[in-house]
A = this chain, B = another copy of it.
Amino acid sequence: MYRSHSCGELRSSHITQEVTVSGWVQKSRDKGFMIWIDLRDRYGITQLIFDEERTSKAVFEKAKTLGREFVIQVKGTVIEREAKNAKIPTGDIEILVSELTLLNASLTPPFTIEDETDGGEDIRMKYRYLDIRRNPVKNSLIFRHKVSMEVRKYLSAQNFIEVETPYLIKSTPEGARDFVVPSRMNEGQFYALPQSPQTFKQLLMVGGMDKYFQIVKCFRDEDLRADRQPEFTQIDCEMAFVEQEDILNVFEGLTRHLLKEIKGIDVEKFPRMTYDHAMKTYGNDKPDIRFGMEFGELNEVAQHKEFGIFNSAELVVGIAVPGAATYTRKEIDKLVDWVKRPQVGALGMIYVKCNEDGTFKSSVDKFYDQEDLAKWAEKTGAKTGDLICVLSGNTNKVRAQLSALRMELATRLGLRNPAEFAPLWVMDFPLLELDEETGHYHAMHHPFTSPKPGQLELLDTNPGDVKANAYDLVLNGNEIGGGSIRIHDKEMQATMFKHLGFTEEEAKAQFGFLMDAFQYGAPPHGGLAFGLDRLVAILGGQETIRDFIAFPKNNSGRDVMIDAPAPIDAQQLKELSIKLDL
């Protein structure tokens, strides 16, 4: 038996007991006549003491040779500690060691196994198995497990059935982003890995499964932005015989349950906002509503004056930055530089200081008098002491720019408190989205999303205006889930494919099985999928998902620890009936 207790459980009540513990040497202090070792395992740290007088010479000498991260097993007696350590639960005791077994030695680790390590991202990823020993990573993985368990318990209790859908499926219209898998048994043919189990969960509804969920890996072969992964995990759900309201209630319930169970936080009924309102008010379909700084549109009060830039703009819009009227010229210049960075892309920024004395000082005083600026303050909700930042230009672009500025300023002002949770439903998304490059419309969510009742007719005339029965769950400025009521009618689905540019043959080749299924009594249904990686990171109060993934890939899609992907040998290629085409 390697241990009678873990390194996290011994207390004063164990004093005088003979115990066996195993673990890693966290650190060792050798005072010549006495050696202390902090022994670590997943559950905690326990101090070992080796004492020239009380420990046998052989054991004492062996203890001297132990380095960091050596794996040892010790037997000994729990004794009271002279210098108690209130910071750790085992701080009242130590183990006076009588037997010591070296289970494995260790080279000096390439970075320190401490909460604050000296290792950079790259080296930590290469030695991820050592990184996982660190509390921040270890605890994130344990946290993820707890969240997953709570999700499963909650949904099971609500009669949802977790059904495993296949991983080896068929390439879809978003095929360009599919990972494919050559089939040895079916020469020249390929499986695809699912970008989501979308069609399968709909088929489960056709199959009468009624309430389905699955915590499931999904795959997307796209250029990886920071903090995306080629494989990611979804909490995927679908329900039959439901309206939008039913789905919102269930998953608001799930989210509230998680906040309560995991964070101990009670949240009010989630606010709801239309997509149009979110775009107008926050410039963004996933607004962070932990703070204000809502958009004030200024066209009415800022146009038709002498200022040409505003007059020619489609949209003039500003936000009031609380308490920022004291910004120096230099600080404001830096802000202007920030919005002009290519990542944001604004051409410039106009500002108005709302001075403590009730006057206004702006960068466009030449064109606007105090009365004009007072109207700007009113529209943006600015109070004395605030700084109004105003951008102008093409509506979509300027909204995105001002939204970026709003988030940046909120971060700088400490308004994005990771311990605060502000969920929000964003509803009534457009059904279609214009691809500005090709001029074609494509499905904003996916081709199975139903339009709002009575709007199908608009598809021919004003496709961009058609609203969908689609909704996103937003948490602290992140989309953590999204879904829709699906089309369940074969004719409507065919119409939708047509509008998305599929020929009848293409639709049949790709989705014939779904269209067929809709002929055999498909019930009304809808659902939602949460991004688990992101959800867990946000609940854990972190910005990045990587520490919540045991073995993440880097921005090139590589696992640097195992060095994958890698070439495969000629024989294997031959068996798969493919060759390289470099």
Contact of A104 among B164, B242, B489, B572 (CB under 8 A): B489
Given A166-B231, A168-B564; 11 other pairs, CB 8 A cutoff:
A1-B243, A24-B523, A107-B519, A129-B517, A141-B209, A164-B233, A169-B564, A180-B181, A182-B578, A578-B580, A579-B580
Q: Is the C-beta of A99 less than 8 angstroms from some C-beta in chain B?
A: no
Q: 25 A-B pairs, CB-CB below 8 angstroms?
A: A24-B208, A40-B208, A42-B208, A42-B209, A42-B210, A70-B521, A129-B203, A132-B204, A138-B207, A138-B208, A142-B161, A145-B156, A164-B217, A167-B219, A167-B231, A168-B179, A168-B231, A171-B572, A180-B181, A180-B182, A187-B582, A190-B566, A190-B568, A204-B550, A573-B581
Q: Are A579 and B581 in contact (CB under 8 A)?
A: yes
Across the interface, which residues of B come within 8 angstroms of A3, CB to CB? 241
> Within residues 369 to 384 of chain A, which ones have a CB less than 8 A from any CB in chain B?
none
Across the interface, which residues of B come within 8 angstroms of A241, CB to CB? 2-3, 22, 41, 73
A200 to B165: give the CA distance in the assembly, Å. Answer: 23
Q: Is the C-beta of A522 less than 8 angstroms from some C-beta in chain B?
A: yes
Q: Are B185 and A557 in contact (CB under 8 A)?
A: yes
A183 to B70: give the CA distance in the assembly, Å. Answer: 38
Q: Is the C-beta of A551 less than 8 angstroms from some C-beta in chain B?
A: yes
Q: Is the C-beta of A563 less than 8 angstroms from some C-beta in chain B?
A: yes
5 smallest A-B Cβ distances: which pairs?
A132-B207, A106-B521, A170-B564, A189-B565, A2-B241
A82 to B246: give the CA distance in the assembly, Å. Answer: 35
Q: Is the C-beta of A393 less than 8 angstroms from some C-beta in chain B?
A: no
A503 to B562: give the CA distance in the assembly, Å. Answer: 19
Q: Is the C-beta of A479 less than 8 angstroms from some C-beta in chain B?
A: no
Interface code A513-525, partner B: CB below 8 Å = 1, 0 otherwise?
Answer: 1001111111110
Across the interface, which residues of B come within 8 angstroms of A523, CB to CB? 22, 24, 71, 103-104
Q: Are B209 and A193 in contact (CB under 8 A)?
A: no
**Nearest residue, chain B, Cβ from A133:** B208
Q: Are A567 and B190 in contact (CB under 8 A)?
A: yes
Q: Are B106 and A519 in contact (CB under 8 A)?
A: yes
Q: Are A169 and B562 in contact (CB under 8 A)?
A: yes
Across the interface, which residues of B come within 8 angstroms of A567, CB to CB? 188-190
A489 to B71: give the CA distance in the assembly, Å. Answer: 12
Q: Are A223 and B185 in contact (CB under 8 A)?
A: yes
Q: Is the C-beta of A561 less than 8 angstroms from some C-beta in chain B?
A: yes
Task: Report the minimum CB–CB distance from A124 to chain B (whole Å).
Answer: 12
A211 to B211: give the CA distance in the assembly, Å. Answer: 32
**Quick one: which of A179, A231, A550 has the most chain B CB within 10 A?**
A550
Q: Are B186 and A557 in contact (CB under 8 A)?
A: yes
Q: Is the C-beta of A105 less than 8 angstroms from some C-beta in chain B?
A: yes
Across the interface, which residues of B come within 8 angstroms of A208, CB to CB? 24, 40-42, 132-133, 138
Task: Report the minimum CB–CB distance from A180 to chain B (whole Å).
Answer: 6
Q: Is the C-beta of A191 less than 8 angstroms from some C-beta in chain B?
A: yes
Q: Is the C-beta of A406 less than 8 angstroms from some C-beta in chain B?
A: no
Q: Is the C-beta of A64 less than 8 angstroms from some C-beta in chain B?
A: no
Across the interface, which residues of B come within 8 angstroms of A40, CB to CB? 208
Q: Is the C-beta of A333 less than 8 angstroms from some C-beta in chain B?
A: no
Q: Is the C-beta of A264 less than 8 angstroms from some C-beta in chain B?
A: no
Across the interface, which residues of B come within 8 angstroms of A183, CB to CB? 221, 557, 565
Q: Is the C-beta of A148 less than 8 angstroms from some C-beta in chain B?
A: yes
Q: Is the C-beta of A149 less than 8 angstroms from some C-beta in chain B?
A: yes
A148 to B65: give the CA distance in the assembly, Å. Answer: 46
Task: Report the minimum CB–CB distance from A221 to chain B (whole Å).
Answer: 5
Q: Is the C-beta of A128 less than 8 angstroms from some C-beta in chain B?
A: yes
Q: Are A572 and B162 in contact (CB under 8 A)?
A: no
Across the interface, which residues of B come within 8 angstroms of A149, CB to CB? 152, 156, 162
Q: Is the C-beta of A527 less than 8 angstroms from some C-beta in chain B?
A: no
Q: Are B167 and A141 in contact (CB under 8 A)?
A: no
Task: Report the minimum CB–CB distance from A572 to chain B (whole Å).
Answer: 6
Q: Are B22 and A171 in contact (CB under 8 A)?
A: no
> Within residues 543 to 582 of chain A, which ones have a CB less than 8 A from any CB in chain B?
549-551, 553, 556-559, 561-569, 571-582
